[in-house]
Every structure is written in structure tokens, then in C-alpha cells.
Structure 1
Amino acid sequence: MKLQKWLLLSLMILICYGVEAQNKKKFKIHTVAFYNLENLFDTINDPLKYDEASPIMELKANRSDIYKKKVKNMARVIAEIGSDMSNNAPAVIGVCEIENRKVLEDLVNDPLLLSKDYGIVHFDGPDRRSIDVALLYQKDLFRPINTSSHELIIYDDLTRDRVYTRDQLLVSGELDGDLIHIVVNHWPSRSGGEARSRSKRVAAAKLNKRLVDSLQSKDPYAKILIMGDLNDDPTNDSVKKILKTKKDKKRVPLKGIYNPFEKMFTEKGYGTTAYRDAWSLFDQIMLTKPLIEDDYSSYRFWKAGIYNKAFLSNKRGRWEGYPFRSFADGGFTDGFSDHFPVYVYLIKEANL
């Protein structure tokens, strides 16, 4: 009798396990990322650009070798972002602090990225430092449909002179068949102090909001990702009051924006760049409500992260733990960037 009970119990366990295994869903997963490449300039003096002050142009020797190493270091990082879960480099990655299309071509043709067959979306912008934003995408995963560059017109509060800064890049396309829209940003810096420069980032946020509103006026359910180095934290007015972001998914209205990086900053103290022993989380990726729904028949947000592996940080000295930047004290450090990359995973039920 005891043997019969044991066999019956074992059978019930096996049946329950089998049902659970059958009900387990399998998902496709893609990484969408953003990375400030910290002054990725070539070694050619462009007479039409103010590139003489770039760190690599200020070097006295070995510019070509250092440029190649800088490109390879950037390629190494991009190849690894999100790969522990997706087993692939980012399907799409926004970048900033790049000089021109040529440096992007060198980057995507590095042996570490060549097999990914990245395409490039880039427009030359008016920034006074000659740095632009761009989008890289794996051609077999993402197909651009519309691309546009949007000029941010701002003025210095004291002199009223025009401040030439980065354009905002809008790319609409299909990620594995799903229509998504991506806005790539590099908002004005805090030069002159946070308070004095604040209005410039508020203006950048307002331009961002107009782009989002325009997309949502055509389709309230538009899937939009806003990414970039904002030079503001998730709690600053530009993000909270202008974009009206929410840190809790349940509180995001239909046309609202979810910022998964706010809790990382306020509750965990995480950051992507450091200055004077204080961390800032300037690099962020935000999503509109249709990307955070629970229906995974199309691509939805799963989770977000900061890619801050040990090799990307300084190992010792005064700057221990800070991002291991490429250039410091007038020389090349063989580092990477003064910012950590950020990423989100998008997942979708696989059709078996």
C-alpha cells in the first residue's frame, strides 16, 4: 500500500512538472543600448570643423596608433553590451561624442563588430565642438524606415549669443517586424554650472517632448525609446517636469514615459559618470507606455541596466571606481570612456 501511494505521488509530481514545463514560454530577446564614446575623433584636421581641440589632435605623437586602439576599445565594449542575456551585441545602439561618419565606419568595420553588419544613421550637426549623435543597427534585425535630424536652437542667457549644440536624431524602423521609434540625444553640458546651464537642457527636453507628441498624435500607441547623455539626472526638471517621466510602471498613463533608471539613481545610488566624488546618472533610456505592457506578442521592455563591468573602471588611485576614460592629462590612457553605457532588454514571445 505504501508503495502504491509513493508511486501515485511520484506520478503526480511528474505530471505537474510536465504541465509547468509545457507552460513555460520562450522569448526572443534584443538589447537596445546607448554609449557616450568620449571624443571619438579621427586624426585628420577638417578645415570646416573646430576639431583641433579634440584630445587626439592635441597628442604630439602616435596619433594613428592611438586612434586605432581607441576604436578597438569602443568596439570591444559595444560587442559585449547585453551579450550575457541576448548572446549578441546590441540590435540597436545610440552613440554620441563622435566626429563624423568616417569614425563610425571604422568602428563598425572593426573585427570585433564586423560580423554584426551594423548600419549607420548619422547627420552632420552644428555643434561647436564638432561632435554628433548617431544610431548603429544590425541590418538583419532592424530596418530604418524614416530618419530625421532636429536642430536645437538655444542662446546663452547672459550674452544672448547662439549656442551651437547637438541635433536630436529621430529614427523610425522595424525591429524584427515591430515598428519602434528612437530619439538619440546629447543634451547641452553643465558648463558654467548646473543652474546657469539648466535652461539649455530644459529647451532640449522641450524639443524631445515635441518629437514624442508628434509621433503620438499620429499613433497614441507608438512605441518610442528616448535615449542619450542628457547631462541631467532622472530627477532633474528637464526629465521630471518637461518629459513628465514616471519611475513606477503602473503610474504611466497612455501617452506617458517610463524611466527605469530613476530608481537606480534614487534608491540604489547608481551612476554612469562621476565628478568630484559624486555619481550622476546622465545616460538614460526611457520608454513610452506601449513598450511596458504585459502582452509579449510584440516586443516589450523586460529590464534595464548599466554596463559597468570591472574592466571599464579605474582600478586604483584617486579615481578608483570611476569610469576608465580614454584621455586624461593630455595623453591617452588606453581606457574606454568617462561614461558607462546603458541598455534595456526588449523581449517577445517566440513562435515555436
Structure 2
Amino acid sequence: MRKIIFNMPFLRTGRLALLPVLFVLASCTVSFTASDAKNSSELESFSATIKVMNWNLQTFFDGIFDGNEYSDYKSPKSGWSSDKYEERLERLCSVIREMDADVIVMEELEKEAQLQDIANRLSGTFDFSSLYKHGLFARDEGSSIGCGILSRLPIDSVSVHSLDVRTEGKAPSMRPVIQFSLSSKGKSLTIFVNHWKSKSSGEAESEIWRKRQEALLARLIKKAGHSGQAILTCGDFNKDILEFDIKEKNGEKSNLILHGKDDVKVYSPWICENGSLANPGSYWYKNQWERIDHFFAAGKIEVKDFYAENIGEWADEQGHPLRYQIWNGKGYSDHLPITCTVCF
């Protein structure tokens, strides 16, 4: 397991703050509304508000050839280069600037040094409150990609959870669940970052592993919920919202069940109050939208709004994501970024 946590102090050089790493659209906009709260004191307890962005970056490798890359990125013969990395890095930072989220969660990032690159590109400001001074990165040993987080708020604690299954033959490579907490205005929020097994090996063959990842997440949410935490889960689950167990709200906040040894009820903003699904989706595949990138909320938390961000330079005129292409160096990602604002 490879886990990196850092906080970034400033070195001033003119107007630009350089940050050396120290390692140690249409959508539904409401979820947990006033009518769901038990009383006015519960509403008043939501004193902290933050915005979170989640984005699968589509194999975001750097310009150094370490030999661990996917075949498309292994050498200059592939067309990949440090110049193309710099261009792609600037595009990513332009999207982050536009989203203006407090926490940035990214899947398919190669290594922790890229968080340094991103933070440096974003640091040309005198507004210290807008700087991403805290971050973490984790991936399994031998894996080509992992997940990275940048935060304007200090990261209080971190745990990384991996599946170790030895009862059904050799388990495929799977990304760990990253659990971290942060605080704002005296309130604490626990966030779980996921990147579940893809369907590339076959939908039926890979579903057993997504179910195991679902069971792990359910257990972790259940455990965190015992301490009364506000909980937000995000990531690329490689599982459409309609493949989960959707339930009727019946006056409850939750609208979906995550199954495992310990089932847990959560809220998905993909599901609108009338039971319809928010549009657009986050992934355009075979000429139709899929909703495989998710936010799930549980505990003492309110989701104020949610968007699959399809208006911007990272999307085409129809609002579909502009997939990155090595051969011409154009595009961003085959996923749209999704954002939500939560109160806790």
C-alpha cells in the first residue's frame, strides 16, 4: 500500500507562491431538505458548508517514463511526452479554477508528485483561503494509477482500506478505499473515496468484485455512522445508479441501500424527489448517458446541490465529455466532473 499525506508551506518568489511537498445542466438540486429535519435545532446544527468536486481524469500520467504506465503511455513512441503532460496539466487546472471547490477528488492519477504540480499551477494568488494546501494520494503497490485529493481545509485523519480476498482464486487489481476527515466551523466531515473495479474484464465476471467493494464501503460507513459523523462518499464506482438497490424514501432522507454484511441507507442526488434521474449523466457510452460517478450522503449532512458539469471547455456542444486523445493531444477526460455542495 502506498499512502502519501502532505501539507504545503509557502516559499515566496515574486507574486507566485511555490509549494514544495513535505511528505509525512440540468440536475436535481435538493436532497435532505428542511422537511426531512426532525426539528429546527437539527437544521441549525448545519453550520459548515463546503463544495466537493469529483473527477475521473482518464489515465492521467505524468511525463516521466517509469515503466509502470499503461501501454499507451510507456514510451515516447506512443506519442506521449512531457510537453503533452504540461498541456494536459494546465487544462486540468483551468477546470479546477472554474469549479472553485473546497475539496478536489481525482481518480486515475499516476503519482503523488502530480498533486504538487497541480497545487503549484493553482498557487498564483494572494487569497490564501483559496489555496489547496493539503492533500493525499494512495494506490496499491504495483498499480499504475491511484486516487488523489487536494483540500483547502486541513486533513485531520486518514485511513486506507484494501480488500484481501483469497477464497475465489486470484483477486484482480483493485483500488483501495481512502477514508479521511476534515473540519470546518467546528464540524467534522468524513469522506470516502472509491474507484471500483471496471467492467473491462466482463460485466458478469467483474460484478462479484464490485459487490465486495460495496460490502466494504457499507461496513466502513456503518462504523463511521456510529460516531454520529456527517459522511460523504464519492468516486467512480463503474456501476450505474440503476444497478444499485433504489428504495422509496417514505419520508426518510435516504433513497438507496448499499448491501453487505451490514446494509446501510444512503442518499444519492442522482435520484430526484419524483423518482426521475438527474440529467445529464457523467459518462457517455454507446450513445447514451451512464451515471457511474457518484456522491452518497449519510448521517448528519445536507446535500444543497449537485451537478454533472457539462457546460465548459471540457465538454462538446452536446454536453458530452471530450475524451483525451494522445495522438493529437486534445481533450480532457471521458468522464464529466461532478460537484456537490454539502452542509454539516
TM-score, normalization: structure 1?
Answer: 0.73
- 2:323 aligns with 325
| Shift in alpha-carbon separation, 1:338–1:79, aligned structure 2, 3 A | same
SS in 2 for 1:135: strand
| Shift in alpha-carbon separation, 1:291–1:133, aligned structure 2, 3 A | same
What is the deviation of 1:334?
A: 2.2
- 1:22 aligns with none
What is the deviation of 1:322?
A: 2.6
Do the aligned partners of 1:182 and 1:225 also contact (CA within 8 Å) in 2?
A: yes
Do the aligned partners of 1:325 and 1:333 also contact (CA within 8 Å) in 2?
A: no
- 1:117 aligns with 131
Separation in structure 1 between the aligned mates of residue 124 and residue 221 of structure 2, nearest angstrom: 31
Of 54-63 and 96-105, more deviation after overlay is shown by 54-63
What is the deviation of 1:155?
A: 7.2
Do the aligned partners of 1:172 and 1:180 also contact (CA within 8 Å) in 2?
A: yes
What is the deviation of 1:61?
A: 4.9
Rg: which structure is higher? 1
| Structure 2 residue 186 is the aligned partner of structure 1 residue 168 | no
Do the aligned partners of 1:154 and 1:203 also contact (CA within 8 Å) in 2?
A: no
What is the deviation of 1:178?
A: 1.4
| Shift in alpha-carbon separation, 1:80–1:137, aligned structure 2, 3 A | same
Separation in structure 2 between the aligned mates of residue 262 and residue 113 of structure 1, nearest angstrom: 39
- 2:272 aligns with 263
- 1:179 aligns with 188
Which runs of 5 or more residues in structure 2 are unaligned?
1-43, 255-263
Separation in structure 2 between the aligned mates of residue 281 and residue 322 of structure 1, nearest angstrom: 13
Separation in structure 2 between the aligned mates of residue 42 and residue 231 of structure 1, nearest angstrom: 24
What does 1:1-352 correspond to in 2, within 5 Å?
Answer: 29-47=49-67, 50-55=68-73, 57=75, 60-61=78-79, 63-81=81-99, 89-111=100-122, 116-118=130-132, 119-126=134-141, 128=143, 130-138=144-152, 142-154=153-165, 160-217=169-226, 219=227, 221-237=228-244, 240=245, 248=249, 250-252=251-253, 256-263=265-272, 266-292=276-302, 301-315=303-317, 321-327=319-325, 330-347=326-343
SS in 1 for 2:149: strand
| Shift in alpha-carbon separation, 1:268–1:122, aligned structure 2, 3 A | closer
% same residue: 24
Which runs of 5 or more residues in structure 1 are unaligned?
1-24, 82-88, 293-300
Separation in structure 2 between the aligned mates of residue 32 and residue 249 of structure 1, nearest angstrom: 28
Separation in structure 2 between the aligned mates of residue 62 and residue 98 of structure 1, nearest angstrom: 16
1:20-79 deviation line (CA, Å, top 9, x unaligned): xxxxx9x975311211111111122225xx215254746545711110011111111111
| Shift in alpha-carbon separation, 1:235–1:154, aligned structure 2, 3 A | farther
Do the aligned partners of 1:154 and 1:200 also contact (CA within 8 Å) in 2?
A: no
Amino acid at match of 2:60: L
Which of the pair is proportionally richer in helix?
A: 1
| Shift in alpha-carbon separation, 1:235–1:45, aligned structure 2, 3 A | same
Separation in structure 2 between the aligned mates of residue 332 and residue 153 of structure 1, nearest angstrom: 40
Separation in structure 1 between the aligned mates of residue 118 and residue 301 of structure 2, nearest angstrom: 30
| Shift in alpha-carbon separation, 1:284–1:310, aligned structure 2, 3 A | same
SS in 1 for 2:310: coil
TM-score, normalization: structure 2?
Answer: 0.74
Separation in structure 2 between the aligned mates of residue 206 and residue 97 of structure 1, nearest angstrom: 22
